[in-house]
Amino acid sequence: MLNRVKDFTSKPVADASKLRGGYYTPTEIARFVAAWVSATGARVLEPSCGDGSILRFLPSGSLNGRPQGVELVPEEALLASQYGAVVNDDFFHWMESDGGNWDGVAGNPPYIRFGNWDDQFRRGALDLMRREGLHPSRLTNAWVPFVVGATVSTKQAGRVGLVLPAELLQVGYAAELRRYIVERYSEVTLVTFRRLVFDGILQEVVLFLGTVGRGPARMRVVHAEDTRSLADLELEGPSAPALFHDEEKWTKYFLKPTQIKTLRDVRSSSDLRSLSSYADVQVGIVTGRNSFFTMTRTEAEDRGLLQHCVPLVARTSQLPGLRYSELDMKSQYEDDVRALLLRAPKELDGLDALETYVRHGEAQGVHQGYKCSIRSPWWTTPSFWVPDAFMYRQIHTHPRIVVNETAATATDTIHRVRLTAQVSSKSLAAAAFNSATFAFSEIQGRSYGGGIHELEPSEAAALLVVDPHLVPETLPESIDLKLRAGDLEGAVELADATLLVEGLGWSDRKVKTVRSAWLDLRARRAGRGRR
C-alpha cells in the first residue's frame, strides 16, 4: 500500500568537535577577555586552551616566561604550544599539583553534556565540585566545573574571565553555581551580545568577568551589539547587590530595579499561585522518530493506516486560540498538516498495510534509534493519554495553555496538561494568560540563540497564575476570539484589566511595570539573530 517512498530522516550525528565541546573563540572576544584578565597581573592561566586562540593574547608572566595553558587533546595542545607553555593533560588532574594562586584565569571552557563526557575526565571534575560543597548531577555540563576550577585557581582580588553559555543565567542545573559565584566573588560583570557571535552555532554566550573576593558579589550586566563593539565597550557603571543564596535566575538582571522589585513583591505575595496547584504538566509523547510516527491524513489514507492513527497536535501553529476544537482539528486535516499519530497494536498479524509500513521503517533503521530500541515492540508509542489542555513548550511571544476539546494528544514538542483541582480547563487557560504570568515565564524558562524561549515541565508547573476561580465565565471565549483575530495586544490588555486590576485590585501602574518587564525580556531574546 506504499504509494510513496518516505524518508524517515533523523537528526545528524554530532561530529567529534561537538562531542568534545570544541567551539573556538572569535578573535575579538579572545583579545578582550585576555586583556581584561591580564590587567590584574601577568601570571595568567588558560585551563582549556584549545588551539591557543586566547592563549596568544596573554602576557608572558609565568615562571618560564610564557603564558601557561592546559589542553586535553594532543593535537590542539601542539598547535597552542606556539603561543605558550602548554601541558597536554586534563585540567582537573593537572590542578591537583600545579593549579592555584594565579593572578587570573582566562578561557573558553568546553561545552560537553554529561552523557558525552568521558568518565575518566568527568570524575575528577565532579570530585572538585563536591570538595567545594556543590552537588553535581547527570545534567551537569563540563563548563560548570571549569568555572569552579578557575575560581579555586585564582588568588584573592584576581580576575576570572570566561566565555560561557547563557545557560549560566537561567538553567536549573547551574543554580548552585550561581550561588557559589555570589559567595566567592566580590564583583561580577556579565557581557551579553544582542547578536549571536559564534559562526554556525545557535548557542548564546555571555562573557563572565569576575573578581575573586568576599561576597556577596555586586552584579552588573553590560550589553554589546556584537564582537566588533567590544573594543569600545564601557564596563564601568552601576551595579546591583546580589541577594545571598539567591534562588532566582540571573535573567532578572536584564531588568530595571523597579521592575525587579515589583516582580519580587508579586512573587512573595499570595496574589498568584503556581500552576502545579491546579494541574500536572508532562511532556508529550516521545516517539523516537517523529517522521515515522506522525503523518498527514493524506499519507495515512494512502498507506491504509488511518484506522491505526489518533489525532495529534505537534506544533504550536496548530493552536491558534485558547481552545483546540473539533473544527480546528478538521482544518488541520484539510490543510494536510501532520495531525495524526501512529498508534499501532503490538501484534501485526493480519494487518498487511501496517506490517509493510513497519518493515519499511526497519529498512531505514528507525528501530535502531535509542528511544525505539528500548521499546518492545519498537513501533508502539508509549505514554498515550489525552490531556485536558495543551501548553506551549517552545515560545515565541508568550506561553499559552490551550483547552483540548478533542481526542487529540501531543508529541514532546507540546506539553500535556492534566487537571488536578476542581477547576475548569477554560478558567485555567485564561488564568495563565496575563502579563504577570508571561513575565515570570521569561525568568523561569530558558532562551536559545535563535530567540526561542523554552519551558520544561517543572518550569511550566512553577509558573505563577491567577486563581482560576477569579476568571469570569465570558473571559476565555473573549481571549480566544481576539487571539484568532491576531490581536494579541488586545487580548493581553483585556486579560490584565479583568484579572489583575479588577480581580486582584492591582493599580494600573503596577500592571504597567509588570507588563514592561515581560516585554523587555521578550524583546531582548527575540532581537538576537544569526551573525
CB 436 within 8 A of CB 272: yes
Residue 14 above 60 pLDDT? no
Bridge partners, residue 211, by sequence: 159, 187
Least confident of 98-112, 299-313, 359-373: 98-112
Using pLDDT thresholds of 50, 70 and 90, give the confidence band for residue 7: low
**Cα(361)–Cα(372) distance, integer angstroms:** 11
pLDDT at residue 157 greater than cutoff 50: yes
Cα separation, 415 vs 387, in Å, equals 9
| pLDDT for res 225 | 85
The ranges of the chain annotated as CATH 3.40.50.150 are 26-254
How far is 335 from 237, CA to CA, in rounded Å? 54
Q: In this predicted model, what pLDDT tens digit does every residue of 387-427 receive, in sequence order? A: 999 999 999 999 999 999 999 999 999 999 999 999 999 99
Measured CA to CA, the distance from residue 136 to residue 78 in angstroms comes to: 32
Task: Give the pLDDT score at 338.
Answer: 94
Residues in the chain: 531
Integer Cα distance of 345 and 330 in angstroms? 25
CATH 3.40.50.150 is right for the domain spanning 26-254:
yes
Indicate the pairing of strand 279-283 with strand 414-419.
antiparallel
DSSP state of 315: S
Nearest 5°: CA angle at 472, between 459 and 394? Answer: 25
* 433 within 8 A of 497, measured Cβ to Cβ: no
Residue 519 pLDDT exceeds 90: yes
Say yes or no to pLDDT of 244 above 50: no
Q: Which residues are within 8 A (CB) of 279 and not within 5 positions of it... i.e. 6 or more apart?
A: 388, 389, 417, 418, 419, 420, 421, 428, 461
